[in-house]
């Protein structure tokens, strides 16, 4: 009986050491997709695995990410279960998505990358989580972040429409100037205002 207890203690120590030895360090900026995955991971009402029926929802266990922040994966403990803490499932999930050098970013609701040890509240909204990541330096506009393709497309369309609108207005101004309705001074002033 004593041998079983000692084996259990040694096994739990090994698992805990393994959990912390796979923790990530260094500069990290999460991609848009990794942030969305982290938000889903933190939401205990998210459906994590549709094939598990009642076990498809649960509490966050481990969140892993590649050192460049592009690819991530996570594990969760289904509701009503008592799960053994191990980052193996989260690391495998990250690697299965094409990630190399996957490391643990969060354990439970706590960000552990670079020993930050910042706990995110269960009540934190999507915007609050993004703000926390920005404040901690894990997300922001100062790096090349892969943006949501829908947002990128909208921005490109707006830029295109804006350019077309300016060209159209410049043509109208030129027509007014050519017809004599605008003096050269009025034309130059209006043109400068449009181009600024």
Count structural domains, the chain. 2
Res 10: pLDDT: 54
State whether 57 and 13 are in the same domain.
Answer: yes
Res 13: pLDDT: 45
Q: Which residues form the domain of 182? A: 149-195
**Residue 140 in domain:** no
Q: Could you report the per-residue pLDDT of 116-154, keeping only the tens digit for each?
A: 899 999 899 999 999 999 999 899 864 444 455 666 666
Spell out a b/e string for 100-130, using b for 16 or more CB atoms within 10 Å of the CB, else e. Answer: eebbbbbbbbebbbbeeeeebeeebeeeebb
Res 154: pLDDT: 66
**Residue 142 in domain:** no
CA 96 to mean position of chain CA atoms:
18
Q: Which residues in the chain show pLDDT less than 70?
A: 1-21, 47-57, 79-81, 141-155, 158
State whether 114 and 178 are in the same domain.
Answer: no
CB 105 within 8 A of CB 64: yes
State whether 11 and 38 are in the same domain.
Answer: yes
Q: How far is CA 188 from CA 127, 179, 182, 191, 194, in A?
A: 45, 15, 10, 5, 10
Closest by alpha carbon to 74, among 56, 100, 58, 93? Answer: 93
Its pTM surpasses 0.75: no
State whether 37 and 88 are in the same domain.
Answer: yes
């Amino acid at each position: 009986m004593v041998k079983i207890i000692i084996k259990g203690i040694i096994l739990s120590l090994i698992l805990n050491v393994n959990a912390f030895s796979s923790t990530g360090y260094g500069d990290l900026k999460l991609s848009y997709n990794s942030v969305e995955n982290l938000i889903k991971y933190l939401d205990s009402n998210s459906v994590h695995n549709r094939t598990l029926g009642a076990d498809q929802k649960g509490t966050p266990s481990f969140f892993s990410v590649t050192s460049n922040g592009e690819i991530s994966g996570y594990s969760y403990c289904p509701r009503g279960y008592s799960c053994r803490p191990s980052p193996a499932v989260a690391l495998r999930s990250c690697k299965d998505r094409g990630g190399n050098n996957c490391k643990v970013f969060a354990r439970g609701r706590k960000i552990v990358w670079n020993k930050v040890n910042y706990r995110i509240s269960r009540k934190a909204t999507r915007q609050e989580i993004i703000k926390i990541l920005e404040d901690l330096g894990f997300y922001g506009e100062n790096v090349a972040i892969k943006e949501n393709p829908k947002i990128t497309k909208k921005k490109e369309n707006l830029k295109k429409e804006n350019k077309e609108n300016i060209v159209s207005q410049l043509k109208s101004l030129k027509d007014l100037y050519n017809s004599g309705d605008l003096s050269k001074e009025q034309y130059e002033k209006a043109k400068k205002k449009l181009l600024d």
